[in-house]
């Protein structure tokens, strides 16, 4: 740990101590401390209030109130000659502005000697219908723990409109640009030692699926935010996304039996069945069934506000010159149609398209036998090992 890093003394002495007093006006509220789900890290979690002011789109669309309307929206969005997206996004620019509570979870090595050497934090951004638990599913399937063991801090969080974070208007507020604004604000707090007083020398962006799209959007709009990025579950093709949406059979979340969804207004959507989640995200028999059940139990929401605006943040990151690691499951259905090596290596294609100025020390990796949810597959530990090795190879 160099002299620029501040870690509260109470944490070094007692990793589970309460140290609310260390947090300033941008600190964590409702603070909880304890071990990671995987058991190999010490974590603090709670809410942080972020002020967002970012351009959006006035969507000419009302949240569907019944299942027939939800289904019809996707039928029209994905038909071959669809004009649905163009019509809905024709309302012109808007401004998304407000203060929103975002759930964050900061995890650090439990070993004091390793903790003292921490200099890099990884900002972990989950995918659509997932939440922060994707990165810390279970013992043996926790990227958080692998990162901690290698001497890294991690900050995972629930995106706006997801999990324990605020759920504002799902159409006009929970849009892709708002998610980018949240991620960028978290980077600034990490850079400026305003998240509990922790200061890190380096910040690495790690994304999965739609979280990779958001991370890549950061490197396009704010190329200085990250020292490196690791993107998993993504490619330059969206050809199989409609098939994924059909498998999900998205429903208004408040019609799902899960009690955490009952208070949500129409427009927050979730998957109807475990079978749909398996179809889109998993490859039998190569996944851990307990990890799969954990993801089903923690299924989360998505909104048409995000789905209709996500394409607007996709553009080559021509000014990002740091190292990039592209990681995909061999059998990712969502972004590779079930084969990320056909008709060519989709990792290499995405790297060349999205990161033309990336460092020559960039890498790609195919997770053997894995579907879209790489972390829950039996090859997940090997994928994690590669991701850590990539950072070490680049001196991070």
Helix axes 241-248, 67-78, angle to 10 degrees: 170
Q: 3-state SS of the chain: helix, strand, coil percent to 5?
A: 35, 20, 45
E-strand spans in 199-264?
Answer: 202-208, 228-232, 251-252
Quick one: pLDDT at residue 197? 73
Cβ-count burial 113-128 (b if 16+ within 10 Å, e if not): eebeebbbbbbbbbbb
Q: Are 219 and 226 in contact (CB under 8 A)?
A: yes
> How many whole angstroms separate alpha carbon 215 and alpha carbon 233?
12
In a domain, 151, yes or no: yes
Side-chain half-sphere CA neighbours of 126 within 13 A: 31
Tokens 């050497």 locate to 117
In a domain, 192, yes or no: yes
Quick one: pLDDT at residue 196? 67
Nearest to 243 by CA among 334, 126, 117, 132: 334
Q: β-pairing, 41-57 with 29-35?
A: antiparallel
Quick one: pLDDT at residue 199? 80
**Which CATH number fits the domain that encloses residue 378?**
3.40.50.1820
Query: What residue ranges of the chain have pLDDT lower than 50?
Result: 1-26
Q: Which residues contact 394 (CB under 8 A, 6 or more apart)?
A: 228, 323, 359, 361
pTM of the model: 0.93
* Full residue range of the structural domain in which residue 357 is found: 9-393
> How many whole angstroms separate alpha carbon 107 and alpha carbon 187?
16
Number of folded domains that form the chain: 1
- Whether omega before 218 lies within 30 degrees of 0, making that bond cis, reads no
Q: What angle do CA 357, 191, 162 make, to 5 degrees?
A: 90
In a domain, 135, yes or no: yes
Q: 105: part of which helix (H) or strand (E)?
A: strand 93-109
Dihedral angle sign, alpha carbons of residues 9, 44, 376, 353: negative
Nearest to 262 by CA among 167, 176, 128: 167
Under the phi-then-psi rule, with left for phi > 0, alpha for psi from -120 to 50, and beta for the rest, what region is 129? left
In a domain, 360, yes or no: yes
In a domain, 2, yes or no: no
In a domain, 346, yes or no: yes
Quick one: pLDDT at residue 201? 92
β-partners of residue 102 are: 48
In a domain, 38, yes or no: yes
In a domain, 1, yes or no: no
Quick one: pLDDT at residue 194? 80
């Amino acid at each position: 740990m160099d002299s620029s890093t501040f870690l509260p003394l109470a944490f070094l002495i007692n990793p589970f101590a309460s140290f609310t007093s260390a947090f300033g006006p941008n600190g964590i509220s409702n603070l909880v401390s304890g071990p990671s789900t995987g058991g190999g890290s010490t974590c603090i979690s709670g809410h942080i209030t972020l002020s967002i002011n970012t351009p959006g789109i006035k969507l000419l669309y009302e949240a569907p109130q019944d299942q027939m309307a939800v289904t019809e929206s996707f039928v029209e969005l994905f038909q071959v000659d669809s004009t649905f997206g163009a019509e809905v996004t024709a309302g012109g620019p808007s401004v998304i502005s407000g203060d929103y509570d975002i759930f964050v979870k900061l995890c650090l090595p439990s070993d004091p000697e390793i903790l003292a050497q921490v200099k890099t934090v990884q900002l972990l951004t989950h995918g659509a219908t997932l939440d922060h638990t994707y990165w810390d599913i279970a013992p043996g399937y926790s990227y958080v723990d692998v990162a901690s063991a290698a001497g890294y801090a991690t900050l995972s969080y629930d995106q706006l409109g997801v999990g324990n974070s605020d759920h504002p208007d799902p159409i006009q507020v929970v849009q892709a640009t708002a998610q980018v604004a949240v991620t960028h604000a978290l980077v600034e707090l990490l850079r400026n030692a305003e998240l509990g007083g922790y200061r890190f020398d380096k910040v690495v962006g790690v994304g999965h699926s739609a979280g990779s799209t958001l991370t890549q959007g950061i490197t396009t709009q704010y190329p200085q935010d990250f020292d490196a990025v690791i993107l998993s579950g993504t490619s330059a093709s969206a050809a199989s996304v409609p098939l994924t949406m059909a498998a999900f059979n998205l429903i208004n979340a408040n019609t799902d039996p899960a009690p955490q969804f009952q208070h949500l207004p129409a427009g927050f959507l979730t998957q109807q069945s475990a079978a749909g989640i398996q179809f889109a995200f998993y490859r039998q028999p190569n996944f851990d069934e307990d990890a799969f059940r954990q993801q089903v139990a923690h299924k989360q929401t998505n909104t048409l506000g995000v789905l209709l605006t996500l394409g607007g943040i996709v553009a080559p990151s021509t000014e990002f010159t740091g190292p990039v690691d592209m990681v995909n499951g061999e059998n990712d259905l969502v972004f590779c149609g079930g084969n990320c090596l056909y008709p060519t290596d989709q990792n290499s294609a995405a790297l060349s398209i999205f990161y033309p100025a990336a460092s020559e020390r960039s890498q790609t990796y195919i997770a053997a036998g894995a579907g879209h949810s790489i972390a829950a597959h039996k090859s997940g530990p090997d994928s994690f090992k590669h991701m850590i090795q990539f950072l070490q190879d680049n001196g991070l």
